[in-house]
Structure 1
Amino acid sequence: MPASPLPDGDGPTRIVVVGSGWRFLSGISYYTCRLSNALATRYEVGAILMRQLLPTRLYPGRARVGHRLNALSYDPRVHVFDGIDWWGVPSLLRAVLFLRSFRPEVLVLQWWTGAVLHSYLVLALAARALGIRVVVEFHEVQDTGEAQHRWATLYCRTLIKPLLRRISGVIVHSAFDRTALRSTYDLAGVPDEIALHGPFDHHERAAVPPARRAPEPASAPAPTSAHICAPSASAPGSASAAAPAPRAVPTTHDQVRLLFFGTIRPYKGLEDLVEAFGRLPQHYTLTVVGETWEGWTLPAAMIAASPAASRITFVNRYVADSEVDDFFAAADMVVLPYRRSSASGPLHIAMSHGLPVVVTAVGGLVEAASAYAGTTFVTSGSPAALGEAIVSATANVGRRHTDPSSWEKSVAAFTRLFARMGVPVAQDAEITASSNQTVPVFSPDLR
């Protein structure tokens, strides 16, 4: 896709955001888009997208690369260049020309993987030569999968240093991330700001009128094994593994529907949930929705062998945006048993739906979920404690809670950082305590 038309030289402060594009779809793809759209309410914004992150065969979700699974799009006010390929020529040169033509005051680099490091270093060098200040927004110090490989860690720790020497500011999502980052790299004298993750409330709504839940068929036969919804041979993003139909909030707690959502990776702790679920009473059901990464098949094996397999539905793929809302609308509670984490897109989707959430008290998740009234925190790595927390949180089933996160607050954090860096910015506008969901409402109209 060619770059969008560029602005003239007058008008608001200009910002260029660099992050993941749609071809290698991930949570950072959505974050880059949502942040750019939010900044566009106040600044003149451009976006440079990382199009081909790395050779497709090396990507954990290689089977879906290039398939359109997202419904979210960039605001027409955002000038988009799509994008940069990992081999650099000629895409990186074109990105530098876009940067030169756009003439931003600030370049904001999204950091989530070492695969972008060489491209970011070129962009930072070009930006500094053009008098553009550089900000890095850290989603984590290093991707957990990359950190398992010594060569990848050495590559990142070595080449990121010349990049960090050329930055004027840093954005992180939590005080936990700030401490981790400053203990890893020498950032003395570099100002930083905490911008809590904004809401992920952009998925399609299910157009289903609110109604009382239909009674379960009395004669429904009990399945003998877990419901496994694997990727089909049909087009990626098709409803081959149909999402559950949205249902209104239960009037009784005769069935409690748990949901785990997100990529299945070693740090996500899904195996703890599968073990804990096997000890829960019969009226609990579990739906697991996620694509397996890093060859982490232990949770899938545990689901198949679980004594509660007949009450588990396993959708083992990356689902399209059009399906996401259905899964959350059909859940009573979201369970995220992470072993470690700086931020969580599924957590923010759950909060945008107002659902009760059981989440481990690790990393940046504590700050992300502390202000959310539907949160139950639990110790990580303990299936027994997780099971107890789920039972305790069942008292919240049927309630909907207001999402405290807000992209307006994120924009305010960037504005504070820009001011500290000496970038001319407009006087702060009034910040409201809003995401797109300001009043708790009932499924399916949750946003």
Structure 2
Amino acid sequence: MRITLIAPVYPLRGGIAQYTAILYLELKKKGHEVQIINFKRQYPKIFFPGKTQTETSEAPIKIDSKIIIDSINPLTWFQAYREIKKFGTELVIFKYWMPFFAPCLGTISRLSRRLAKSKTMMIGDNILPHEKRIGDITMTHFILNSTDLFITQSETVKKDLLSLKPNAHYRNTPHPIYNIFGDPVQKHDAKVQLKISADRVLLFFGFIRRYKGLDILLHAMPVVLKQLNVHLLIAGEFYESEEEYRDLIKKLNLEDRVTLYADYCPNEKVGQFFCASDAVVLPYRSATQSGIVQIAYHFNKPAIVTDVGGLAEVVLDNVTGFIAPPNNPEKIAESILRFYAEKREAEFAKNIEIEKKKYTWETFVEVLEELAGVAR
């Protein structure tokens, strides 16, 4: 099958770019002819809260792509369509994660369906955004009505899809494991690399926005520290005020209990952070699914998560981690203390070795191929 992927990929950075690169390689492995149409501008600078949109890693996944799309320039959307038609595309697959991209991706999808006679498929990270704005539903309806087929990766996203498009042709299949960050290293060695000497280490990983609940975890830490010495390792770029979090760390007297790596984590350092840690904590206020758990599973690391979105579908309570109620620092602290008191790390890691077998890219591509055979 001749497939065009429309999504960010190298030289752009981030989890979606990494996901696209792996999907491209897996589709090629199955014998498909694949091209990628990339963004030359994802976000106008005034809308992007991070430091840079381009990859800074010393070990990026370099995938060839046609760098065409400007999210706010409709002329480039038509140029992308022409490349889709020129390639003889049978299936257009695009990643979708927020309504800002609906006009761009929806227009390309409509042109591809009507003029190039291609099927179009959305891989929906989110159908409805975490942070809602006026016009979101209108733009979401536009892109849903522009698309033939849908893949969702959690029950939450599936329900959002069907609430807006009850007759959607879709499959729901889990987010695959991120397997691009190297093999696990010894915990001691990872700690040495990061200059961490604490015996017990928890990790909060990924870009920092309010819905991810880092402030809730920080409020949980004093409760934990009353009973146990634990160090919190935070690795992620701030997409909101860094100063507010630093002030909170100071207010809670956590300066000596927190290591803050306030930047985007390049590929070659990801393994260090996960391997230095006993468990990963996701204290989210809201979620759909999370690639962070899939990175943790790659390194056989347990996860302590809140019961929001699709997190509880991936983390099995008392099997591969613990699930706590959201917006409750005391309950998160309780789960952390239980994790250490019951010495569950080795048991959970062994269970993860078994559980993560269901999250392979081979399975994901098989579901994608089966769905692509569904007639319009």
TM-score of the pair, normalised by structure 2: 0.88
Instruction: Give distance in 1, aligned partners of 2:375 and 2:243.
Output: 46
Residues of 1 paired with 2:298 and 2:196: CA distance? 16
RMSD: 2.7
Q: Which residue of 1 aligns with 2:41?
A: 52
Match of 2:364 in 1: 410
Deviation (angstroms), 1:70: 6.8
Alignment match of 1:19 (pick from 7, 10, 28)? 7
Give the structure with the larger helix fraction: 2
Using the TM superposition, name which of 304-313 and 87-96 deviates more. 87-96
- The residue aligned with 1:119 is 104
Compute the displacement of 1:351 (Å).
Answer: 0.9
1:15-67 CA deviation, whole Å, 9 max, x = no partner? 22211234552221222222222222222222212231121232011x22335
Stretches of structure 2 lacking an aligned partner (at least 5 in a row): none
Question: Per-residue CA shift, 1:208-246, capped at 9, x if unaligned?
Answer: 6x59x59x9xxxxxxxxxxxxxxxxxxxxxxxxx96169
Query: In 2, Cα distance between the equivalents of 1:89 and 1:192?
Result: 28
Q: Does 1:175 align with 2:129?
A: no
Question: How many aligned residue pairs are there?
Answer: 363
- 1:203 paired with 2:181, answer yes
| 2:314 alignment partner AA | A
SS at the partner of 1:420? Answer: coil
Corresponding residue for residue 329 of structure 1: 275
What's 1:235 paired with? none
Deviations 1:324-357 (Å, cap 9, x if unpaired)? Answer: 1111111111111111111112211111100121
| Counterpart residue type for residue 31 of structure 1 | Y
CA 1:371–1:191 in 2, change beyond 3 Å: closer, same or farther? farther
Structure 1 residue runs of 4 or more that deviate by more than 6 Å after TM superposition: none
Provide closer, same or farther for how the CA distance between residues 47 and 195 of structure 1 changes in structure 2, counting only shifts above 3 A. Answer: farther
Aligned mate of 2:344, from 374, 388, 396? 396
* Letter paired with 1:305: K
Q: Distance in 2 between matches of 1:412 and 1:372?
A: 30
Question: Does residue 1:261 correspond to 2:205, yes or no?
Answer: yes
CA deviations on 1:349-396 (whole Å, 9 max, x unpaired) are: 111100121111211112222399422111111111101101112222
Q: Which residue matches 1:231? A: none
| Structure 2 CA distance for partners of 1:25 and 1:420, relative to 1, 3 Å | same
Name stretches of at least 5 consecutive residues in structure 1 with no aligned partner.
1-12, 217-241, 248-253, 423-447
Q: Distance in 2 between matches of 1:309 and 1:246?
A: 14
**Cα gap change, 1:321/1:135 in structure 2, threshold over 3 Å: closer, same or farther?**
same
- CA change 1:114–1:415 in 2 (3 A) is same
Deviations 1:281-303 (A, max 9, x none): 34211111111114475433211
Q: Distance in 1 between matches of 2:317 and 2:6?
A: 29
Deviation at 1:86, TM superposition (A): 2.4
Task: Name the structure 1 match of 2:53.
Answer: 65
Measure the CA separation in 1 of the matches of 2:72 and 2:330. Answer: 48
The DSSP-based 3-state class of the residue aligned with 2:194 is: coil
Specify whether residues 132 and 172 from structure 1 end up closer, same or farther in structure 2 by C-alpha distance, changes over 3 A only.
same
Partners of 1:70 and 1:17 lie apart in 2 by 25
Equivalent position to 1:190, from 160, 164, 168: 168
Aligned partners of 2:98 and 2:260: how far apart in 1? 28
CA shift for structure 1 position 201: 2.1
Which of these two proteins has the greater Rg computed from alpha carbons?
1
Map of 1:311-326 to 2, 5 A cutoff?
311-326=257-272
The normalised TM-score by structure 1 is 0.74
